[in-house]
């Protein structure tokens, strides 16, 4: 595969279409809902984005399978009829011929077994970031025999370019195994720039990334790792796989996904890591679990054989694994 492959064209188009719809839903619904502490906008956007990617996959590659986060069961319950009506209406804005049943069936294409060759989708990664107006991503990847071979992240609020951690007009990041990683502005992805990790090799100057949500990580242990490395700066808190895009662009050196003390047996979901992990590897970085093992995408819908994730610019990987061992992570 290379950047001109049909798979790449499909992935970019599907991720951009889903991200565009999600942004529209956010503009329409989220401001009002936030004041009422209502999660329904993210629910509508999540299901609608999954339906759109599934529909585009059915058009482009009717035989291929999709592993995705959502299932239509909840939408089929009369309790959620109001959400379902909105999901169907938004999907019909892109696919006017689709009726409600077709939309629900598109969503359920995501229940395929995670085996052999399959696409993996997180329609909205970082739902809490979406609700807060912070970072989130549409994350789509292709997995072949346990290896991620293509990954795309559409990050509507990420600043592209030299300072990728800032809020901005949107970034599309793309990686193809063996061919590299690149980014383009999400709105007009015509000129692509290479993604390259930072060449910082001094652990004391490492910039760390972590989940915004403390329940998704172990904040205390991250502080301890930072001390062991000798870094002074506070870890940057950010939602979603946008963190991987920042690392791939050289905007940070280390991304830690440690195990929350409340859920020490948590296993990562493949759609939360696949696209971002390839992005970092193809930008010259390294991604393993906390024990230094490669992420194993052949274990089903979860990374059953891995604990947590550590991604770095490569140069600092050994030092970070050593620090993790030293603090007992
Ligand atoms: P982030 O914004 O990087 O924290 O990633 C968001 C993802 O974290 C969500 O899509 C969830 O699937 C995942 N998640 C939920 N609970 C946990 C947990 N206890 N530990 C790690 N990740 C989690
Ligand atoms: Mg997610």
Contact 252, 231 (CB under 8 A): no
Mean pLDDT of 149-161: 91
What 3-state class would DSSP assign to 180? strand
pLDDT interval class at 164 (50, 70, 90) = low
**DSSP string for 227-291:** HHHT--SPPEEE-STHHHHHHHTTS-SEEEEPPPTT-TT---BHHHHHHHHHHHHHTT-EEE-TT
Q: Tell me: pLDDT of 37 over 70.
A: no
pLDDT at 31 over 60: yes
How many angstroms does the Cα of residue 308 sit away from the middle of ligand 1?
A: 11
Q: How far is the CA of 202 from the centre of ligand 2 (A)?
A: 31
Mean pLDDT across 186-208: 95
Give residue-wise pLDDT tens across range 67-104.
999 999 989 988 889 899 999 999 999 999 999 999 99
Burial class of residue 266 (count of CB atoms within 10 Å of its CB; 0-12, 13-18, 19+) = middle
In the predicted model, is pLDDT for residue 33 greater than 80?
Answer: no
Read off the pLDDT of each residue in 222-243 and give the average, rounded to a whole number. Answer: 95
Distance separating alpha carbons of residues 1 and 296, to the nearest angstrom: 21
CA of 211 to the centre of ligand 1 (A): 8
Chain-centre distance for alpha carbon 281: 15
Residue among 213, 257, 302 whose CB has most ligand 1 atoms within 8 A, to mutate:
213
Structure tokens at 11: 């992935």
Q: Whose CA is nearest to atom 8 of ligand 1?
A: 216
What's the confidence (pLDDT) of residue 39? 75
CA pair distance 89, 51, nearest whole angstrom: 12
C-alpha dist (Å) from residue 273 to 31, 36, 120, 165, 223: 29, 31, 10, 18, 23
Q: Is the pLDDT of residue 240 over 60?
A: yes
135 Cβ below 6 A of ligand 1? no
Task: Pull the structure tokens for residue 177.
Answer: 């195994």
Does 269 contact ligand 1 (Cβ within 6 A)?
yes
């Amino acid at each position: 595969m290379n950047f001109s492959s049909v798979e790449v064209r499909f992935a970019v188009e599907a991720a951009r279409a889903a991200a565009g719809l999600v942004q529209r839903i956010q503009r329409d619904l989220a401001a009002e809902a936030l004041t009422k502490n209502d999660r329904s906008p993210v629910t509508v956007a999540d299901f609608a984005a999954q339906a759109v990617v599934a529909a585009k996959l059915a058009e482009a590659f009717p035989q291929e399978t999709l592993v995705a986060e959502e299932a239509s069961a909840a939408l089929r319950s009369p309790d959620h009829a109001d959400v379902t009506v909105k999901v169907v209406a938004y999907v019909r804005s892109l696919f006017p011929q689709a009726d409600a049943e077709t939309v629900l069936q598109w969503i359920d294409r995501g229940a395929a077994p995670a085996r052999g060759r399959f696409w993996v989708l997180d329609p909205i990664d970082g739902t809490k970031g979406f609700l807060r107006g912070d970072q989130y991503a549409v994350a789509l990847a292709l997995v072949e025999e346990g290896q991620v071979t293509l990954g795309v992240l559409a990050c509507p609020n990420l600043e592209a370019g030299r300072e990728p951690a800032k809020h901005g007009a949107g970034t599309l990041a793309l990686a193809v195994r063996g061919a590299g990683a690149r980014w383009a502005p999400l709105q007009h992805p015509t000129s692509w720039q290479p993604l390259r990790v930072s060449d910082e090799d001094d652990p004391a100057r490492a910039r760390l990334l972590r989940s915004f949500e403390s329940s998704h990580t172990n904040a205390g242990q991250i502080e301890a790792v930072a001390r062991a490395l000798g870094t002074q700066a506070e870890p940057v808190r950010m939602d979603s796989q946008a963190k991987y895009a920042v690392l791939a662009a050289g905007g940070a050196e280390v991304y830690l996904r440690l195990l929350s003390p409340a859920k020490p047996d948590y296993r990562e979901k493949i759609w939360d890591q696949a696209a971002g992990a390839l992005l970092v590897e193809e930008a010259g970085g390294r991604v393993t679990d906390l024990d230094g093992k490669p992420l194993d995408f052949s274990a089903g819908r979860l990374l059953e054989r891995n604990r947590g994730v550590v991604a770095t610019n490569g140069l600092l990987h050994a030092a970070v694994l050593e620090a993790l061992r030293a603090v007992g992570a």
